[in-house]
């Protein structure tokens, strides 16, 4: 099939690479010429395992192209995916300006019948709004074309996005058109042939499915973090509680690891957007709203532990930081707990030696650019020299089995605040560390 993907960010790049890898001809569109030049040279602006190699391969085959020319893509394609960002507005609702700008451009440029597929995470009712926007532009041009708008939400995990796309656990298609459904079934046939996991539903249900899935996963995280906080107060061990809870097949072990809060581009934004949608329709979603409140409070747990251990004497401390990204295997810093933790401790006078395998340049340029108390390092051990304590914030694999004897030699004080419960407390005490976990 000939496919256009509008938006060459995280979702758009994965979709473009994945569809071209399956033999389709894909044109990816972006308004940022510098990004397009970068992509056409085989480089990518994000870190996602395996993605750059697949893009380079399909560029060389000619099955994947990048351009700023939307008309060229529409002239060639009969399917157009919208995969632009929907950032969170100040009131919590999703900002649809990028999506609607694309819809207007499609209406102004399209010359033939077209299937338009919403891949961006959008509120319920957006497909109808996109269709209306396109048809408004077509009427201004006196064009009589058939445009079908389809909802096809993405369920990609950062750090495993390409695998998730090529071998999805489900593909959700929202459409009321038998013809559009048949086309989407054909498109995804290679992706779903092994487990027949393509799910067809109406458009609004498909849009709701994306928000419901992320809200439920976020709820599991916040629930377990709340249990962790209770465990500390009653002197229970949340690591053992997690084992007992996760062994229930109805619950499972996914997303019940306690820690210092969730972040990223999906959970915070989508939970708040769902809250806003509910209130807009006259319902007060108490549980879902509380999920976000628990998460924001959880990001301050490590700050509280540090201030209590040092009896509020923070101004002369140098703290080592391991991990900046909101999760391992990505350089994404959006809503990362590290930003709030570092900024709050900076206010109290701390300075920092920081290491992250991928995120340091992004943190330095965007998220922590105004923080002059941070010294960035290219080695996890360099970030420990003469520090008063280590804060482990992101559970990258290389932090799993470090040389504890070497760490103890480098640190001014052998104190670890583990925001992801990576280590065994008895082992750490055996090495002579003061060791603080979440929920223990």
H helices present in 43-177, as ranges: 51-61, 70-76, 97-109, 126-140, 161-166
CB neighbour list of residue 361: distance below 8 Å, 6 or more residues apart: none
Single out the residue in 173, 201, 229 at which a domain terminates. Answer: 201
Supply 289's token pair. 């709203």
In a domain, 182, yes or no: yes
CB 127 within 8 A of CB 99: no
CB 190 within 8 A of CB 165: no
> For 58-73, how does the pLDDT look when each residue is reduced to its tens digit (9 = 90+)?
999 999 999 999 999 9
Active-site residue, from 28, 80, 231, 266: 266
pLDDT of 92 above 90: no
| 164 strand-pairing partners | none
Q: Is residue 271 located within the same domain as residue 334?
A: no
Helix-helix angle 10-21:51-61, to 10 degrees: 50
Distances from the Cα of 369 to the Cαs of 94, 330, 345, 373, in angstroms?
26, 19, 16, 10
H helices present in 235-266, as ranges: 238-246
CB 395 within 8 A of CB 356: no
Q: Is residue 18 located within the same domain as residue 99?
A: yes
Split at pLDDT 50, 70, 90, the class of 254 is very high
Q: Is residue 260 located within the same domain as residue 318?
A: no
- Across the range 84-108, mean pLDDT stands at 92
pLDDT of residue 91: 80
pLDDT of 239 above 90: yes
Q: Is residue 283 located within the same domain as residue 402?
A: no
CB 250: neighbour CB atoms within 10 A?
A: 4
pLDDT of residue 262: 96
pLDDT of residue 195: 78
Q: Is residue 372 located within the same domain as residue 409?
A: yes
pLDDT of 114 above 90: yes
Q: Is residue 290 located within the same domain as residue 415?
A: no
State whether the Cα torsion 112-117-122-124 is positive or negative. Answer: positive
Supply 351's token pair. 């300075």
Query: Average pLDDT of the chain?
Result: 96
pLDDT of residue 94: 86
CA distance 93 to 389: 39
> For 180-199, how does the pLDDT look when each residue is reduced to its tens digit (9 = 90+)?
999 999 999 999 987 789 99
Supply 331's token pair. 């350089």
Q: What angle do CA 329, 13, 420 make, to 5 degrees?
A: 20
- Across the range 93-120, mean pLDDT stands at 96
| Phi/psi-derived region of residue 335, left when phi > 0, alpha when psi is between -120 and 50, beta in every other case | left
Q: Is residue 267 located within the same domain as residue 126?
A: no
pLDDT above 70 coverage of the chain, percent: 100
| 376 strand-pairing partners | 354
In a domain, 26, yes or no: yes
Single out the residue in 250, 280, 297 at which a domain terminates. Answer: 297
Supply 15's token pair. 């979709």
| Phi/psi-derived region of residue 174, left when phi > 0, alpha when psi is between -120 and 50, beta in every other case | beta
Helix-helix angle 301-309:337-347, to 10 degrees: 30
In a domain, 206, yes or no: no
| 105 strand-pairing partners | none
pLDDT of 13 above 90: yes
In a domain, 332, yes or no: yes
State whether the Cα torsion 107-110-113-119 is positive or negative. Answer: negative
Q: What angle do CA 139, 140, 142 make, to 5 degrees?
A: 60
Strands 64-67 and 147-151: unpaired
Range(s) of the domain holding residue 239: 211-297
CB neighbour list of residue 414: distance below 8 Å, 6 or more residues apart: 407, 408, 431, 432, 433, 434
pLDDT of 378 above 90: yes
Supply 84's token pair. 């632009």
Tokens 């990816």, residue located: 28
Tokens 């969170």, residue located: 88
pLDDT of 265 above 90: no
DSSP summary character for residue 364: I
Q: Is residue 188 located within the same domain as residue 49?
A: yes
CA distance 403 to 382: 13
- Across the range 208-228, mean pLDDT stands at 96
Q: Is residue 190 located within the same domain as residue 225?
A: no
Taking the C-alpha atoms of 379, 382, 387 and 393 in order, what is their torsion angle to the nearest 10 degrees? 0
Does 231 qualify as catalytic in the annotation?
Answer: no
In a domain, 291, yes or no: yes
> For 393-439, how does the pLDDT look when each residue is reduced to its tens digit (9 = 90+)?
999 999 999 999 999 999 999 999 999 999 999 999 999 999 999 99
Q: Is residue 165 located within the same domain as residue 277?
A: no
CA distance 95 to 329: 27
- Looking at residue 383, which CATH number applies to its domain? 3.40.50.720
Split at pLDDT 50, 70, 90, the class of 230 is very high
pLDDT of 291 above 90: yes
- Across the range 283-301, mean pLDDT stands at 96
pLDDT of residue 89: 81
3-state secondary structure 366-397: HHCCCCCCEEECCCCCHHHCCCCEEEECCCCH
The total of structural domains in the chain comes to 3
Q: Is residue 78 located within the same domain as residue 169?
A: yes
Sheet containing strand 389-392, strands side by side? 374-376, 351-355, 318-322, 389-392, 415-418, 434-436
pLDDT of residue 93: 83
């Amino acid at each position: 099939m000939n496919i256009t993907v509008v938006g060459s960010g995280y979702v758009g790049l994965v979709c473009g690479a994945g569809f071209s890898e399956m033999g389709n001809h894909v044109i990816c569109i972006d308004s940022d010429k510098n990004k397009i030049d970068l992509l056409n040279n085989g480089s990518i602006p994000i870190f996602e395992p395996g993605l750059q190699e697949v893009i380079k391969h399909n560029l060389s085959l000619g099955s994947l192209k990048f351009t700023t020319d939307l008309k060229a893509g529409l002239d060639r394609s009969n399917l157009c995916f919208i995969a632009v960002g929907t950032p969170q507005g100040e009131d919590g609702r999703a900002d649809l300006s990028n999506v609607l700008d694309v819809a207007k451009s499609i209406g102004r440029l399209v010359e033939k019948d077209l299937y338009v597929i919403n891949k961006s995470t959008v509120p319920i009712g957006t497909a109808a709004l996109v269709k209306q926007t396109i048809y408004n532009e077509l009427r201004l041009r006196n064009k009589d074309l058939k445009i079908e708008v389809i909802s096809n939400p993405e369920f990609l995990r950062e750090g495993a996005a390409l695998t998730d796309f090529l071998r999805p656990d489900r593909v959700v298609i929202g459409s009321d058109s038998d013809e559009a459904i048949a086309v989407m079934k054909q498109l995804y046939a290679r992706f779903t042939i092994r487990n027949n996991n393509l799910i067809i539903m109406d458009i609004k249900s498909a849009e709701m499915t994306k928000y419901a899935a992320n809200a439920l996963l976020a709820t599991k995280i916040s629930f377990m973090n709340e249990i962790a906080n209770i465990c500390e107060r009653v002197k229970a061990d949340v690591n053992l509680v997690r084992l007992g809870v996760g062994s229930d097949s109805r619950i499972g072990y996914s997303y019940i690891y306690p820690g210092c809060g969730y972040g990223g581009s999906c959970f915070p934004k989508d939970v708040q957007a769902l809250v806003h949608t509910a209130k807009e329709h006259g319902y007060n979603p108490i549980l879902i709203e509380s999920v976000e409140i628990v998460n924001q409070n959880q990001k301050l747990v490590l700050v509280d532990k540090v201030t209590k251990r040092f009896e509020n004497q923070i101004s002369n401390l140098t703290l080592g930081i391991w991990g900046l990204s909101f999760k391992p295997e990505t350089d994404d810093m959006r809503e990362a707990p590290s930003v709030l933790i570092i900024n709050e401790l900076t206010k109290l006078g701390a300075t920092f030696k920081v290491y992250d395998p991928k995120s340091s340049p992004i943190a330095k340029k965007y998220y922590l650019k105004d923080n002059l108390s941070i010294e960035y390092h290219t080695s996890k051990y360099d970030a420990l020299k003469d520090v008063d304590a280590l804060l482990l914030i992101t559970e990258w694999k290389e932090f799993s089995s470090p040389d504890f004897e070497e760490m103890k030699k480098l640190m001014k004080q052998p104190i670890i605040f583990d925001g992801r419960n990576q280590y065994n407390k008895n082992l750490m005490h055996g090495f002579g560390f003061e060791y603080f976990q979440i929920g223990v």
